Copies of this chain bind each other. A is one copy, B any other.
Amino acid sequence: MQDNRMDLQDEKTPVESIQLEIIRRICFLDYPPGCQLKEAELAVEFGVSRTPVRDAISRIKHLGLVETRNGVGTVVTVLPRQQIEQVYEMRLQLATLIGTVSPHAITQQDLARMDALLDDAIALQAAFDARRYVELNDQLQILIADLIGNALLRSFWRQAYFQAASTWYGVASRAGDGVAASLVQEIQEMKRAMERGDIAAVGFIQRVHIGYGYNRIIEHLFAEEDTSVASGT
């Protein structure tokens, strides 16, 4: 078993690059829920024809991030409350599996990435920026995914993250710089666990902080929904 962490090499086909970019934009709320994705526009922007764009959009349909109807267009899905609940329910479960299911050994490189991330997070704490927070959180997710040795679990982990990201980042941006402090703490805890080589702990720490995040979503998002519903649309 050679180090198969190299199989996440970035030799991506054009359509895969487009796919990832669109997913990022949805997760990072560049394309907020309800936003319409026009194939022709994207084709022009990426400098390709409509065909690869269609292919990319088609591939991300199974994530449930977009919904496309004939004659209307492709719109970014507004995830219903129940689905968000289910996504977070699964993320809590998956987190605990990170350390259980054939994890990768932690390398010096991983620790270095973690250190850099910690510095960035601390800097963010001093001067909060919603966009920057999103990027750092994303990098943390990628780093954790790299620690997962089981390819299928890694795939599931990313899928669940993609589905949760836009909602979470929407809440986090409004929650302000409190989330930055939480991120710093999360990274610190995780770094300590990684220094001990304890990946199971990494998973449990993730679980705890996903729980924190979910609570924030309940407070900010669902509370708003309830009041707005109560006040009559």
Chain A interface residues toward B at CB < 8 A: 1, 4, 15, 54-55, 58-59, 61-62, 82-83, 86-87, 89-90, 93, 97, 100-102, 149-153, 155-156, 159-160, 163
Contacts and interface: CB of A to CB of B under 8 A. Distances in A.
A160 B101 CA distance: 15
B82 A1 contact: yes
Contact of A90 (B58, B87, B101, B160): B101
Contacts of A101: 86, 89-90, 93
A147 to B, nearest CB: 15
B150 A90 contact: yes
Contacts of A153: 86, 90
B62 A89 contact: no
Kindly report how many copies of this chain are found in the complex they form together.
2
A169 B111 CA distance: 43
Nearest to A156: B156
A152 B88 CA distance: 10
A168 to B, nearest CB: 15
A151 to B, nearest CB: 6
B102 A86 contact: yes
Contacts of A90: 101, 150, 152-153, 156
Contacts of A102: 86, 89
Contacts of A61: 59
26 contacts: A1-B82, A4-B82, A15-B58, A55-B58, A58-B59, A59-B59, A59-B61, A59-B62, A86-B101, A86-B149, A86-B150, A86-B151, A86-B152, A87-B152, A89-B101, A89-B152, A90-B101, A90-B150, A90-B152, A93-B97, A93-B100, A152-B159, A152-B160, A155-B159, A156-B156, A156-B159
A179 to B, nearest CB: 24
Contact of A55 (B55, B149, B163): B55
